[in-house]
Amino acid sequence: MSLDRFDFVLPEALIALRPAQPRDAARMLVVNAKSAGSISDAHVRHLPDYLNAGDVLVVNDTQVIHARLRGQRTRAGSVVNVELLLHKPSAEPGVWHAFAKPARRLAAGDIVEVSPALRAHVRGRDGGDVEVELEATGMSLDEAIAQTGEMPLPPYIEGKRKADAQDERDYQTVFARAQGSVAAPTAGLHFTPALLEALESIGITRQTVTLHVGAGTFLPVKSDTLDGHKMHSEWGEVTLETAAALNAARAAGGRIVAVGTTSMRLLESAVDTDGVFHPFTDETDIFIKPGHTFNAVDVLMTNFHLPRSTLFVLVSAFAGQDTMHAAYAHAIKETYRFYSYGDASLLFRAACTDESA
């Protein structure tokens, strides 16, 4: 399938540089709630109006780390300033894959001095991707990264402004517990304690999964076709207890409501063709595109995504291509705010039709 089918014109002014305050004051476009193709305007604080007692909200508890490291590589008297963006941890403790600038000035055996407390030993390089072993002195590695590194913001925000102290608060969800992401699961940014209390008061339960978001989420699709694109793998976990709770909720007639595409991708990786959830602790490179059979998720809350992105492909597969093009046209006309700090959409799964298959 051609990527051109997932293109649209997005005014640059609609890409949000700061989130709504309070978080649940963001707007929310509701799609397919009443009937196939229906579209209505709401706000995130109205989420309880669209869910039922017994539904389960599934959130991602990953926490964004200070993944951007700046340091110097010294070799034979030559000093080069280097930036490393950690994007994927290895199974080996302390070893990461990182996007490097300038990568061509690095080779196996080089050391990048980030600070007196942190250095990166270069193990190898494949184009702009380097494998580094991080070494901390005088503190734990997590502490050294937290103190020395910088909060990474998406490139379309950093191209306009640098991360600041406000982003330390804004770019973490209220669910963040497990360190390991280099990008936030942004649908979760909309939740406040008041909204969670309102959901709980009407019988909406909550389950937590972990998927560590990699920088590959920002990489453009370079192929002209969906089949030509290879997704970056990301590590995720669905515990035995969570899988059992989701199975029990579904057996009782509850719907599975994924908060964010990260939660959806992980849940669709942890479910079988009969809709039964299983424990999952592994990497997933699932690419959800038209033709995918959804066995896990009934409702998806997600932000607005960029044209020709794998995430717009995902929401088109879930709610229908024609429906999502119409929904995004409406959002652009009504000046909804897009992407990580933008507004939300609440999508109800389309019936299996030619449009969604």
What CATH number is associated with residue 206? Answer: 3.40.1780.10
Q: Is residue 157 part of a domain?
A: no
Q: Is residue 245 part of a domain?
A: yes
- The torsion angles phi and psi of 82, rounded to 5 degrees, stand at -130, 140
Same-domain pairing of 16 and 129: no
Which residue has 């407390």 as its token pair? Answer: 117
Same-domain pairing of 38 and 132: no
Enclosing domain of residue 35: 3-64+170-348
Q: Is residue 158 part of a domain?
A: no
CA gyration radius, the chain: 21
Domain boundary among the residues 87, 115, 150 is at 150
Same-domain pairing of 32 and 141: no
Domain boundary among the residues 117, 150, 183 is at 150
Parts of the chain with a pLDDT under 50: 353-357
Same-domain pairing of 318 and 243: yes
pLDDT tens per residue, range 305-331: 999 999 999 999 999 999 999 999 999
Q: Is residue 301 part of a domain?
A: yes
51: left (phi over 0), alpha (psi -120 to 50) or beta: beta
CA distance 282 to 220: 24
State residue 275's pLDDT score.
97
Same-domain pairing of 188 and 299: yes
Q: Is residue 357 part of a domain?
A: no
Q: Is residue 163 part of a domain?
A: no
Domain boundary among the residues 150, 183, 217 is at 150
Using DSSP's 3-state secondary structure scheme, residue 281 falls into strand
Same-domain pairing of 331 and 214: yes
Same-domain pairing of 327 and 201: yes
Record the tokens describing residue 57, joined without a space. Answer: 């909200």
Same-domain pairing of 124 and 234: no
Beta bridge partners of 15: 338
Same-domain pairing of 337 and 225: yes
- The alpha-helical segments, DSSP class H, found in the chain are 141-148, 155-158, 165-170, 193-201, 240-251, 261-269, 310-319, 321-333
Same-domain pairing of 258 and 174: yes
Give residues with Cβ within 8 angstroms of 140, minimum separation 6: none
Q: How many domains does the chain have?
A: 2
State residue 352's pLDDT score.
54
Same-domain pairing of 33 and 83: no
Q: Is residue 356 part of a domain?
A: no
- The torsion angles phi and psi of 11, rounded to 5 degrees, stand at -60, 130
Q: Kind of pairing, strands 344-348 and 299-303?
A: antiparallel
State residue 217's pLDDT score.
67
CA distance 210 to 282: 11
- Cβ–Cβ under 8 Å, residues 313 and 288: yes
Same-domain pairing of 33 and 105: no
Residue 95 maps to which CATH number? 2.40.10.240
Q: Is residue 231 part of a domain?
A: yes
